[in-house]
Amino acid sequence: MSKPVISSHFQSRNPSAIRLSQIEFGKRTDSVRDINTAIGNVSLPTHPAIQERMFHLREKGSPFAGGVIKYTPTAGVREANQAFLNIIASSGFSTGGLYSQITDGGSQAMELIVVGLCGPAGSDEKPLFLIDPAYTNYLSMAKRTGRRTVSVKRRLEDDGQFSLPDLQEIERVIQSARPAAMVVIPYDNPTGHFCTREEMMALAELCVRYNLWMVSDEAYREIYYQADHPVSIWQLSDREVPGIEGRRISVETASKVWNACGLRIGALVTDNREFHEKAVAENTANLCSNAIGQYLIGAVAGLSHRELQEWYRQLREYYRPMLTGFTREMKERLPGIIVSSPRASIYSVVDVRRIAPEGFSARDFVLACARQGRVEIDGMEYTLLSAPMAGFYSLNEGEKNPGDTQMRFAYVPPREEMALVPRLFADLFQQYREGRLG
């Protein structure tokens, strides 16, 4: 007897590049421990104010003291929205005229953006414009909702630098593809590229010229290492870029700067009232975001900007030596390897194109490490999980994927585990080159 079939969309789906190795490692039954740098699952404690609320949910003053957990408004409770606006303001940007909507992490905000701005395939098609390599969830949300993406590509140079493609190249793609919106990640995931104010202004001018929405994913705002000040879509106004107001959207999240990945609380912020109201209307089908999570992030609404700035400074000082140490040791252990030099966020991209065997596939190597990898260090056996970069690129037919020799590493394991990553990678890569792994 025949059985019902799943949709063609489900049949075509594979795990995201950032979850792939974790899923495969989870099938192992041996005692090997994993060090997971594949996904930005931060292992640092969240802010003390958030912890205070988390540990006292039953006490007087908590909305959950009586054990009741009710729906919130779809747009989220006022305090949670005020928290995200306070975060934006603490970086020195005006929040006047901004509308905020709470979402299930930054990922749901991405989905609402894709659905709300981009037309499906057909006569009304309006794709989403990305700068590759781009965060995988934008590609996934476009596929889920039947939307298309177009892109221009950054290249990882031998010196470890990513940079924006030429503006004329960006303009040519816009003219040809006629996208609805441009996504910019100023503190870039996965490349670590820091988008300067001048670059943000140049991209904003293109958005105005070609009547695009400008979407800025600011999950890592305030995590930067070489600049003097943060950048944001909210520092761009009609004074600097006439016409930019009314087309600005930012993606916010509690995951990264607030070390609260599992809270699954984010926000969709805009200066366009119609977009805000329709995004809330669309999201009524989801009823509301996590009520407890909203209460926890709401603790940030009452914090002073001075206190928030001190928190940001501590984060930068935590990550900066990790980045430099990782880059230095990787190059010492594997001469010829290319390691991106992050200027922002918490990731490095490693490219083995100059030292890999012919036909090397980063995806195959990552899977081999997850399924069979084994390196003994001080009496313990470890393997390393990373994210193959092929899934971060959009490709034209017949085009070679730059990510075939690249992997992304997130600086999220505890400091002592992160210190083992260069040694683990070098050993596993040598095993793979010699045919002892995979």
Write out 358-424 in H/E/C secondary structure: CCCCHHHHHHHHHHHCCEEECCEEEEEECEEHHHHCCCCCCCCCHHHHEEEEECCCCHHHHCCHHHH
Q: DSSP secondary-structure letter at 337? A: -
The domain over range 49-307 is classified in CATH as 1.10.287.130: no
Residue 302 has pLDDT above 90, yes or no: yes
Q: Are 413 and 33 in contact (CB under 8 A)?
A: no
Residue boundaries of the structural domains of the chain: 8-45+308-433, 49-307
> What's the pLDDT tens digit per position in 57-116?
999 889 999 899 999 999 999 999 999 999 999 999 999 999 999 999 999 999 999 999
The domain 8-45+308-433 is placed in CATH, from the list 3.30.565.10, 3.90.1150.10, 3.40.50.1820, 3.40.50.300, at 3.90.1150.10
**Burial (CB count <10 Å: 0-12, 13-18, 19+), residue 197:** middle
pLDDT at 238: 96
More confident residue, 6 or 295: 295
Mean residue pLDDT of the chain comes to 93
Residues in contact with 141: Cβ distance below 8 Å, sequence separation at least 6, in sequence order: 107, 110, 111, 113, 114, 147
Intrachain domains 8-45+308-433 and 49-307 with the same fold? no
pLDDT digits (tens, 9 = 90+) for 149-168: 999 999 999 999 888 888 99
Angle at 306 between CA 302 and CA 312, to 5 degrees: 95
Q: How many CB atoms lie within 10 A of CB 125?
A: 16
Of residues 395 and 178, which shows the higher confidence score? 178
38-42, 49-53, 270-274: the lowest-pLDDT one? 38-42
Question: Which of these, 344, 355, 372, lies nearest to 428 by C-alpha position?
Answer: 372
3-state secondary structure of 236: coil
Residues in the chain: 438
Residue 386: its pLDDT value, please? 96
Q: Which pLDDT score is estimated for 132? A: 92
Please report, for residues 85, 99, 208, 311, 386, the alpha-carbon distance to residue 300 in angstroms, rounded to integers and kept in the order given: 10, 18, 34, 11, 32
Residue 357 sits at the vertex; the CA angle it makes with 351 and 363, to the nearest 5 degrees, is 55
* 256 vs 3: which has the higher pLDDT: 256
**DSSP code string of 19-62:** THHHHHHTT--SSPEEEE-SS----S---HHHHHHHTTTTSTT-
**Mean pLDDT score, 349-361:** 93
Residue 13's pLDDT band, with cuts at 50, 70 and 90, is: confident
Question: In percent, how much of the chain has pLDDT > 70?
Answer: 99
Supply the pTM of this predicted model: 0.92
Name the least confident of 4-13, 260-269, 292-301.
4-13
**Residue 122: pLDDT band by 50, 70, 90 thresholds?**
low
Cα separation, 330 vs 298, whole angstroms: 40
Q: Which residue has the higher pLDDT, 152 or 10?
A: 152
